[in-house]
Amino acid sequence: MKKNETNTDTPISQDLVLIGGGHAHAIALSMLAKRHLPGVRITLISNSVLTPYSGMLPGLIAGNYEHEDVHIDLGAACRSFGVRFIEDSVTGLDLEAKTIFCQQHPPFSYDVLSIDIGSSPDLKNIPGTKEFSVGVKPVDRFLALWHDLQQSLLSKELTSPVDIGIVGGGASGVEVALAMQHKLKCALKDRKTSFEQLRFHVVSGSDTILPSHNAKVQQRYQKVLDKRGVQVHHDFRVSKVEEGCLVDARDAENPRELSLDKIIWAISASAPEWPKAAGLACSERGFIEVDACLQSVSHPNVFASGDIADVLDHPRPKAGVFAVRQGKPLADNLEKALRGEPLKAFVPQSKFLSLVSTGDKAAIASRGDWAMSGAWVWHWKDSIDRKFMRRFSELAKPMIPAENASVDAEPMSMRCGGCGAKVGQPILNRVIAQLSTRYEDKAKVALSQPDDAAVLAIPADKLLVQSVDAFRRFIDDDYLFGQIAANHALGDIFAMGATPHSAQALVTLPFASEEKVEQQLLHLMLGASKVFDACEMPIVGGHTAEGAELSLGFTINGLTDENQLLTKAGLQPGDKLILTKALGTGALFAGDMRGLAKGPWVKSAIEMMLQSNQKASHILFNHRAKACTDVTGFGLAGHLLEMLQASKQKASLNLASLPVLDGTEALMAKGIFSSLHEQNKQIDTKMRAFISLETPKEAEILFDPQTAGGLLAGVPADQANACLNELRTAGYDLACVIGEVIK
């Protein structure tokens, strides 16, 4: 069978879930994406959208690389590979039910599971480490501390010694020490007196540095440390950490002490508790025990690699060089496990190339018993590292269309239409039983006592405000998509000053096996329920069906008093136009579909779309807004034009003041726009008859369609500043005045 040829006769319908964005997983995903795995949905769960490449981290600390150079963008990579990406932290497993528990999501099921979550310095077993030191991992936390430390040291003239200690005489410890020293030396090149006050210490529990390397490497590196004035404390085994002090208390009567102003921990790797707590066979230190196939010795459908794994047949140091080499055999064995084929053992290399940097664009190379050093070694290392990163930084268009990542239960041609395309009643009953019913007393008949239709009682003194919104899926995280779809649908209700009352759902789910459909529907509806519960409103009914792709929408009912109703027609000359959220979701997700949007850009956009407009609506009303709309599919220009035409007014707009999401302008500069952008732009000439643009800045952002966008309102000029202050206090950080209504 040719690669990527769909085999509809033997569908698999399986979930392969990878936990952690370690080096082995990154390599494995890039390989699995090119293989033909019909009916298999691949999911990566990682606690961060960016994962650092450990080999380049010292270079980042030293100032030789930028942050982007040393981090793999998992979000963009997964989009390119056709893999579902979930940003969350795993908290536990149910190995019998094959279920994964996360901090911020409902449980995920799996058929085959792989774990590559790395390790962190052990800050638990030695008293005081957690309180008075910081580990080099998690990397994002360490980099934040390193940034703050630089700011502190560079903000003043140093007149007394500052002692910085790195606990750990291995490669990580010595590289971090020299990298930090080099960066500060460069930053203080014009303040030599201050730099001379900085004293660096390496604390090694061994009688030498780099104990896993050969003697030639140890000697060369020791010379570098001596030359740069880094003091090494050999055979110092920390038994406790006090504020500003390390203690080696092996000799209780005469303990060794080392006073330090900053303590950094780069030794004693530890594992999280949840793999062992779940029942996986683990070592005493909590590392998952696997065989030569990287398969758990206790649970055959679970694999592990990288630092979190202890390969019983072939023990090796916990180093990135071994994790990278595990990527291909891991991908091979995961595929074999999915196909039910025999696994293949992997024997890691006994000798390996080691490249240890010295901070100043020089490095020491070794393999076996030889060693070499110099600037050329660093450039060699740099070329190897950059080649590895290009595998993930130079991503083309998505390799696998999103629909190919679905888990087909049977060929699409065999699926019925009409009412035969409905989702089955047993699935619906099980999902409904798990949804919130806290506010069902607002309805006469709702989900807890299902009937042919929902029945609502509308108070005689209230107006019913009703709106409907629906769209196709644009992110792979069903739980977040449910929240965004709910927020988007509520936007019209909040724009009109109404209080949400109830909702009905309209869901189309891709063809899949029964258990996959059930979990997907549950995630969607739990996400939506989270938003609706916050608004104290129930889901009272809806309709679910099968289709070629996932879509989700809601009919929203709201109530309001007639004198509180906000329409588009109330703008008055002199009103300040206030926009509560940034623009750019259309271009950003058009870029994301093409693999051109960076993970942090997409993450920021999702965070904005998850923000409800409810508080903003109340604040705008309290500051005497008389006209309001939500900025969605027609873009800012389209929705503002509707307000101006209804109000028979014109407006002056300051393009330079528009809040824009990170990455939007970069993508637009490359010609990346939403597919709706050109239709929105057809009103350009008409728009300019109503809107004068105060700045000559490019106006493309005005036509960008927004999903779950902000509110746009006209507020009296004397209320504008107070309104903005209250909006920003409420969390609408980018709210701003973008223009003024004129006659």
- β-strands 84-87, 71-73 pairing: unpaired
**Residue in 664, 504, 681, 502 with CA at minimum distance from that of residue 584:** 664
Q: Which helix (H) or strand (E) is 501 found in, with range?
A: strand 499-510
How many whole angstroms separate alpha carbon 517 and alpha carbon 431?
Answer: 10
How many whole angstroms separate alpha carbon 180 and alpha carbon 46?
Answer: 28
Catalytic residue, chosen from 293, 419, 723, 736, is 419
**Can 419 be counted among the known catalytic residues?**
yes
The CA-based diameter of the chain, rounded to the nearest angstrom, is 89
- β-strands 245-248, 256-259 pairing: antiparallel
Contacts of residue 279, Cβ cutoff 8 Å, sequence gap at least 6:
93, 95, 298, 299
Contacts of residue 710, Cβ cutoff 8 Å, sequence gap at least 6:
579, 580, 581, 582, 613, 616, 630, 631, 732, 735
Cβ proximity of 241 and 133 under 8 Å: yes
Q: Which helix (H) or strand (E) is 311 found in, with range?
A: strand 309-311
**Residue in 621, 622, 639 with CA at minimum distance from that of residue 630:** 639
Token pair listed for 729: 């206090």
**Residue in 101, 4, 2, 104 with CA at minimum distance from that of residue 48:** 104
530: which strand partners? Answer: none
Indicate the length of the chain as a whole number. Answer: 743
Token pair listed for 302: 């679970």
Q: Which residue has the tokens 């407009």?
A: 613
Phi, psi dihedral angles at 114 (to 5 degrees):
-130, 140
Among all residues, which ones are annotated catalytic? 419
